[in-house]
Amino acid sequence: MSIRTRHTSIFAILLFGSFAAIWACMFVASKTHVPDSIPKLFSFAPWAAYLAGALWLAKLYERTWKTIEGSVHADEHGIYVNGRLTLTRRAIRHGHPMKDGERTYLRLHRRAPFAAPYDIEVEDEAEARRLLAALRFDAQTSVSEFELRWGAGTRAQVLRWVKVATGIVAFVAPILLMRRIGENVAIPLWFASCLLISYFLSGNVVQLAVGADGLTLRPTFKRQRFVPYADIEDVRVEKEALYLTLADGSVVPLRTSTAEDAVTVEQRIREALSLHRARNVNAAAAVNRGGRTTSEWLAATKDRRATYREATVPDEELWNIIEDAAASPTERAGAALSLRAELDDEGRNRLRVAAGACAEKKLRVALESVARNADEDVLEDVLEPLEDRRVKKLSRS
């Protein structure tokens, strides 16, 4: 088995070399006088050389791989190659199977900025999913994070290219006008254009967290939104576009970098949706809030413990509700409350793992409070906000 990853040295040269080249081109533009006998077009020669070099390094980075050969296995701590921990689980953002020609890989995306992914060659997709389960990155026990963009279709593409053109003009204009307006004005304008370009590039970025209980959309400059799986009717892909259809009929358009990335996100969401639609409603309904006040709900979970045993509902069924991606927040919290009197250290750790897989903060705090055996007053405070939500329409406005 082998692991492949990108050469970070090439990326470092590309990144830091770009900054050095830009400053060099600005220095040449400000200090060099082009004689009238030389065509003005030649003043762009340094920029053309920089762009050609940057494109060449970018292509080299995409096509060059560093390969590690050896035996590979995984557990909840990370990836081991030849018995040595090579990649910790904490450093991994999410993973998914992928195809590259005739070969199958498990691609692991790392959390560090600009970090190249790790590709583990496997026999088939089933082996890739076994590795993900060993890492506890399956749909039930983990939160997968993806960077997407708002909007899809022709209108979004046109708007994107208008922003790109505006950014290029704002970036180049201060440099071309440097001799006329002076360095004291041109350099601040150039930095302002860099901020404008950064805003254009990140303004429509949205971080998508696919958890065990639903999706969290975190736009760069707007408030985050949580969408429980019960509110998602369907998810579909068209090339690089990903469309979420909600129960109220509204559609949330998102865009990925490539068609392959769109399929990866769709598969991850569909896996969670399939868990939602295969749920056991009867057992979950027995532990939810059921329209009661928080104090009544807490008291009922105390008194019901014997009832659960008489109804022959085992503890593992309650754990299934806690760890069920389809269960509502009140069902999952109610199941945890029903188990709290008999939780040992192993059970508390298991409950913390379930809490860590929740994308929604309120439910995560509630489960963590049960896990640490918080008193009644604290439990009432953290359980009070939990309820079965209605669909909220998502939009960019």
Per-residue pLDDT tens over the stretch 78-130? 889 888 898 898 888 888 888 777 888 888 888 877 777 888 888 888 888 88
Between 138 and 217, the more confident residue is 217
What's residue 174's pLDDT? 72
Q: Which residue, among 129, 120, 123, has the nearest Cα to 2 in the 3D structure? A: 120
Per-residue pLDDT tens over the stretch 296-321? 888 877 764 444 334 445 677 788 78
Q: Which residue, among 308, 389, 388, has the nearest Cα to 341 in the 3D structure? A: 308
Categorise residue 314: left if φ over 0, alpha if ψ from -120 to 50, beta otherwise.
Answer: beta
Q: Which residue, among 365, 288, 381, has the nearest Cα to 326 in the 3D structure? A: 288
| 17, two tokens | 């070399």
| 145, two tokens | 């994070």
Which range among 46-60, 92-106, 345-359 shows the weakest confidence by mean pLDDT?
46-60
What's residue 27's pLDDT? 64
- CATH number of this structure's domain 70-138, picked from the four choices 3.40.50.920, 2.30.29.210, 3.30.70.100, 2.40.50.100: 2.30.29.210
What value, to the nearest 5°, has the Cα angle with vertex 202 and ends 8 and 240? 80
Straight-line distance from the first to the last Cα atom of the chain, in angstroms, rounded to the nearest whole number: 49
Q: Residue 304: helix, strand or coil by DSSP?
A: helix
User: How far is residue 117's CA from residue 78's CA, in Å, rounded to a whole number?
Assistant: 14
Rounded to whole angstroms, the maximal C-alpha distance in the chain is 99
Q: What are phi and psi of 47, to 5 degrees?
A: -70, -40
Which range among 177-181, 285-289, 356-360 shows the weakest confidence by mean pLDDT?
177-181
- CATH number of this structure's domain 140-273, picked from the four choices 2.40.50.40, 2.30.29.30, 3.40.50.300, 3.30.70.580: 2.30.29.30
Which range among 125-129, 281-285, 333-337 shows the weakest confidence by mean pLDDT?
281-285
Q: Which residue, among 91, 93, 217, 215, has the nearest Cα to 144 in the 3D structure? A: 93
Per-residue pLDDT tens over the stretch 233-279? 889 998 888 999 998 888 888 888 788 888 888 988 888 877 666 55
User: How far is residue 289's CA from residue 292's CA, in Å, rounded to a whole number?
Assistant: 6
Q: Residue 85: helix, strand or coil by DSSP?
A: strand
User: How far is residue 385's CA from residue 245's CA, in Å, rounded to a whole number?
Assistant: 26
Q: Which residue, among 61, 58, 62, 86, has the nearest Cα to 74 in the 3D structure? A: 86
What value, to the nearest 5°, has the Cα angle with vertex 134 and ends 351 and 108? 110
The pTM of this model reads 0.54
What's residue 7's pLDDT? 66
Question: DSSP character for 342?
Answer: G
